[in-house]
Amino acid sequence: MPLSIGGVDLPDDLIWTDEYQWSAVTQKTEVTVGGALLIEESVQAAGRPITLEGDESSAWATRTQIQALRTLAEQPNEVHELVLPDGREFDVMFRRPAFEAKPIIPFNVSAAGDFYSLRVFLIEV
């Protein structure tokens, strides 16, 4: 199954780098004037960051894929379906900036098939 965001196929070997750096349980602590500690916890229904990353040696995207991703990211307030290669699906929006793309081999004139390393910044909604 290909990795895709809003129907735009991206490299399957992008890595979800912050998958385990978020907790669904949020906590707020406060110390009262009398010195007591108040702790409030609740389950956060949405807001999980999803960062998908490649580098100079893996998960290269073509310029055509980058341009399609840019078109998708330039739609404000849109919810997109993220499909991971393992079949998991998430409703996401782009965090801002939406992504970073750097050419693997820089050329002064780019072609559709030129390769880029890619980082995509999403948030689960």
Rounded to two decimals, the pTM is 0.88
Do 105 and 56 form a contact (C-beta atoms < 8 A)? no
Which sign, positive or negative, has the C-alpha torsion 81, 83, 89, 90? negative
Do 125 and 46 form a contact (C-beta atoms < 8 A)? yes
125 pLDDT tier (thresholds 50, 70, 90): very high
pLDDT surpassing 80 at residue 1: no
Q: Does domain 3-124 have CATH number 3.40.140?
A: no
The token duo for 42 is 């609740």
Gap between the Cα atoms of 58 and 11, Å rounded: 9
Q: Is 96 exposed, middle or buried (0-12, 13-18, 19+ CB in 10 A)?
A: exposed
Quick check: helix, strand or coil at residue 58? strand
Mean pLDDT within 81-86? 97
The token duo for 77 is 């307030």
Read off the pLDDT of residues 37-47 as tens digits, 9 standing for 90 and up. 999 999 998 99
